[in-house]
């Protein structure tokens, strides 16, 4: 069972990798961009996907008064997103540790890449 506030999506892996790379090249966190896109989608009542004009707030950022359909404030969404990013970092560190341990096991057992 996922932890409260966790986010999961079924992206096409190639699309997600491209999106992550694009955001990374711009020095942006892809999860922050996804959050802003979600808010933009809600503000436009979904019209942003149908190439209809979206009202420009003139601020250059998403206003903090925006709310989701469930009534969550942008601040609450930011907190949930931060938890997701922390979870992603934890998962990355965990996988790194697992891979390092697997390499050590392969060395000792002379299997995998260390097979002669």
What is the DSSP secondary structure assignment for residue 2, as one 8-state letter?
P
Concatenated DSSP letters for 6-72? -------HHHHHHHHHHHHHTT--HHHHHHHHHHHHHHTTTGGGGT------SSSS--TT-B-TT--
* Spans of all domains in the chain: 10-61, 74-116
Q: Which of 1-15, 53-67, 99-113 has the lowest mean pLDDT?
A: 53-67
* Run of H or E including 106: helix 74-109
pLDDT tens track for 21-63: 898 898 888 888 888 888 888 888 888 887 654 444 444 444 4
């Amino acid at each position: 069972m996922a932890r409260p506030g966790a986010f999961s999506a079924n992206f096409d892996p190639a699309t997600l990798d491209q999106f992550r790379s694009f955001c990374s090249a711009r020095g942006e966190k892809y999860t922050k961009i996804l959050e802003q896109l979600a808010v933009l989608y809600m503000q436009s009542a979904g019209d942003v996907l149908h190439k209809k004009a979206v009202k420009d707030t003139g601020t250059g950022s998403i206003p903090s008064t925006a709310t989701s359909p469930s009534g969550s404030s942008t601040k609450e969404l930011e907190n949930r997103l931060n938890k997701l990013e922390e979870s992603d970092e934890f998962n990355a560190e965990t996988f790194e540790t697992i891979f390092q341990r697997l390499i050590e096991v392969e060395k000792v057992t002379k299997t995998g890449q260390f097979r002669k």
